[in-house]
């Protein structure tokens, strides 16, 4: 897939491991201009981890980009750990990292679960956020989780059937609980096949057109285990969000500028959610990409995200 609309590959100028307590250690990196405008990249999942390609949405001559892997994800340790792994923990981890790096405020950039975490952090610490660039919005509502587990079969019946067939018929009345039992088993013979099946399902539904490259990236064992185990854990606990949900806290960030990028044919996080968020956010600009699904790396989404970041650069 050509990605000429992204900035060139670049290595971090600094990396580190930050102890968080409860046995967790966070991987973090800084990329671009050490004196530049701070921006924080928030990866999806929860549990997916960040990759080198995510650095390429930002002009390295202007931005001081901070990337980190959330608890249990990617290069953070231990992989797939669920102890003390909740949304409030992740919000506090972001504050810990901000203080550690000596940053006053930053722009937030997040897609899918990254948009959820960006909103949760911004609502908890609005004085630390200059704005948000969000993609493929997920608000963690019950209907959105139900859509992922069951509704996607309307458009991806083949992928959904493979997802369901991993579970014995007598357990299919509660797919989430059946997967969670397997994903939290200490036995790799149980948790790795379940993780692959869950992640293959999500990857198969994430692009407008079939993308073997996307499916393969989701199905790698380290990615699959972190993504599937942590995602199922968060789904079981309703994403550890406040009772009123994220829309209930929008008054805290109503003053904040935002760019929302949404694929028209996003099946993982359908466009209705992005429209609901935009309606509740006076300073949000919603861009709907007509020929895209969920993935940040689809051509139209990539172009729109780079343009949104550049608009913040000019503010």
The whole-angstrom separation of Cα 308 and Cα 135 is 10
| Residue 1 binned pLDDT confidence (cut-offs 50, 70, 90) | very low
Element (H, E) at 17: strand 14-21
The full set of domains in the chain, from first to last, is 14-141+240-313 (3.40.50.1820), 143-238 (no CATH)
What global pTM score does this model have? 0.97
141-150 per-position pLDDT tens digit = 999 999 999 9
Is 112 assigned a catalytic role? Answer: yes
Pick the catalytic residue from 112, 115, 199, 217: 112
Q: Residue 3: what pLDDT?
A: 55
Task: For residue 209, give the DSSP letter.
Answer: S
Collapsing DSSP to helix, strand or coil, 236 comes out as helix
Percent of the chain at pLDDT > 70 equals: 99
Mark whether 24 is an active-site residue: no
Residue 223: per-residue pLDDT: 87
**Section 204-216 average pLDDT:** 92
The pLDDT confidence band at residue 315, using thresholds 50, 70 and 90, is confident
Sequence-ordered list of residues with C-beta below 8 angstroms from that of 120, at least 6 positions apart, any chain: 87, 90, 91, 241, 246
- Catalytic annotation on 206? no
Q: Is the peptide bond before 78 cis (omega within 30 degrees of 0)?
A: yes
């Amino acid at each position: 897939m050509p990605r000429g609309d992204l900035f060139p590959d670049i290595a971090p100028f600094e990396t580190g491991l930050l102890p968080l307590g409860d046995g967790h250690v966070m991987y973090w990196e800084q990329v671009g201009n050490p004196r530049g405008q701070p921006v924080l990249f928030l990866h999806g999942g929860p549990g997916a981890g960040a990759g080198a390609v995510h650095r390429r949405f930002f002009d390295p001559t202007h931005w001081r980009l901070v990337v980190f892997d959330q608890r249990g994800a990617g290069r953070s340790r231990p992989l797939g750990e669920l102890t003390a792994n909740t949304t409030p923990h992740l919000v506090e981890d972001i504050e810990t990292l901000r203080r550690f790096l000596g940053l006053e405020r930053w722009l937030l950039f997040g897609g899918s679960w990254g948009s959820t975490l960006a909103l949760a952090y911004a609502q908890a610490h609005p004085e630390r956020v200059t704005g948000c660039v969000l993609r493929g919005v997920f608000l963690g509502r019950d209907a959105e989780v139900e859509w992922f587990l069951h509704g996607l079969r309307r458009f991806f019946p083949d992928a959904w059937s493979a997802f369901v067939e991993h579970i014995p018929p007598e357990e299919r009345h509660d797919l989430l609980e059946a997967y969670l039992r397997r994903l939290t088993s200490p036995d790799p013979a149980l948790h790795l096949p379940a993780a692959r099946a869950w992640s293959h399902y999500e990857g198969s539904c994430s692009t407008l057109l079939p993308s073997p490259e996307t499916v393969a990236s989701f199905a790698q064992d380290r990615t699959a285990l972190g993504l599937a185990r942590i995602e199922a854990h968060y789904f079981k606990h309703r994403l550890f969000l406040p009772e009123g949900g994220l829309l209930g806290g929008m008054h805290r960030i109503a003053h904040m500028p935002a760019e929302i990028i949404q694929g028209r044919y996003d099946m993982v996080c359908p466009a209705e959610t992005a429209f609901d968020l935009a309606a509740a956010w006076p300073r949000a600009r919603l861009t709907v990409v007509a020929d895209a699904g969920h993935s940040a790396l689809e051509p139209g989404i990539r172009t729109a995200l780079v343009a949104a970041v550049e608009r913040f650069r000019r503010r």
